Structure 1
Amino acid sequence: MNNVKPRIERIHVSVPVKLSLLWASLLSFYIYNDYLLFFMPGQIEGMNAGSFGPFGEVTDLKLLAVAAFLAIPISMIFLSSILPSSVSRWLNMIIGPIHGISNALTLLPFFTAPLFFKFIVSIEIIVTLLILWTAARWPKQDG
C-alpha cells in the first residue's frame, strides 16, 4: 500500500499580483474601519450636523482632498499589475510608505481612539510595510 501523502501544491504568485492583493487588502481594512466607526456614539449625528471629525466642518474641498488621497491606493490595485516592473516597483516603494505614515498619523489621538480602531490601523500599517518590503525585494529580470 502506498503511504505517501499527497502534498499541497504551492502556486507561484507574481510580485505584481502580490502587490495588487496587498493594496486590495489595505482598502478592505480602510472600509471596515470606517464602517465600524459608524457604531460609535455620536458619529452619525456628527456627520448629519456637517462634522468631518478632526478635519472640522465638511466642505467640498475637504471631501475632494480625501477622495483624491483615497483614489491613489484604489488605483494601485490595478496599476501594480499593469505598469512596467521598474515603474511599479518604485511607485509602490513611494506610495506604500506615504499611506503607512498617514495611517500612523490617525493614531495621534492614541489614548482616545477606540481599541478596534487602533487594532485595524496597526494592521493597515503592517500591510503598507509589506507593500514596501514586497516591492523592494522584487527580483531583477535578466535581459
Structure 2
Amino acid sequence: MRTSQSPTALSNPSSPSTLEDLRMPVKAKLAAAWTSFMFLYIYVDYLALYKPGFLDDLLAGIVYEFNTGPTFVAIALTLMAIPILMIVLSMTLPARVNRIANLVVATLYIPITVFNAASETWTYAYFYALSIGLETLLLVFILRSAWTWPRRTPQQA
C-alpha cells in the first residue's frame, strides 16, 4: 500500500510534519568536513597500533620503512597539523582566500592519503580501503563545496 504525505504538510510550511532545513554556510560545511577528516586520519593511525608487529617496529624506531627520527616526527606533525588548522581557517578566512586554501589543501591531501596505504599489506586491505575511501570522499566533498561556493550578484552586495 502506498502512503503519501497529506497535501497540507506539503503546502503549509508551518505544518508540524514539515522539517526545517536551513542552508548551512559553506564555512561551516568545510570546517565540519575537515574535522571529520582529521578524526579519521588520527583514528586510522591509532588503530594501526593494534596490527601485530607494529609496536615492535615502532619501539625499534621504524614506521613503514622510515626511521622515526626528528625529520619523520616533524613531517608527521605537519601532516596532522594541516587538517587541524584547516578547521579554524575554514571558519575564519575571508571567502576568496578560504576557497583557494581549501581547493589547494584538499587537492594535495588526496595523493598523501593514497600514499599512506601504499606500503600496507593485503592483510589489512579492507581496513585501509575503507579508511582511504572515506578520507577521499571527505576530500572530494571539500573540493566540491569550495569549488561551488555561492557567489553574490552585484544586486546582493
TM-score by length of 2: 0.82
Q: Bigger radius of gyration, 1 or 2?
A: 2
Higher relative contact order (Cα pairs below 8 Å, separated by 6+ residues): 1
1:50 partnered with 2:34: no
User: Partner residue of 2:89?
Assistant: 79
Q: Segments of 4+ in structure 1 off by > 3 A?
A: 2-5
1:90 partnered with 2:100: yes
Number of aligned residues: 141
Alignment of 1:111-130 (within 5 A): 112=122, 114=124, 115-130=126-141
Unaligned runs of 5+ in 2: 1-5, 10-15
Q: Report deviation, 1:62.
A: 1.5
User: Partner residue of 2:142?
Assistant: 131
**Aligned partner of residue 106 in structure 1, secondary structure:** helix
TM-score by length of 1: 0.90
Greater mean deviation of Cα atoms: 101-110 or 127-136 = 101-110
Alignment CA distance shift 1:45-1:109 (3 Å): closer
Q: Report deviation, 1:122.
A: 1.1
Alignment CA distance shift 1:60-1:109 (3 Å): closer
Q: Report deviation, 1:33.
A: 0.8
Identity of aligned residues (%): 26
In 1: Cα distance, 2:41 partner to 2:27 partner: 21
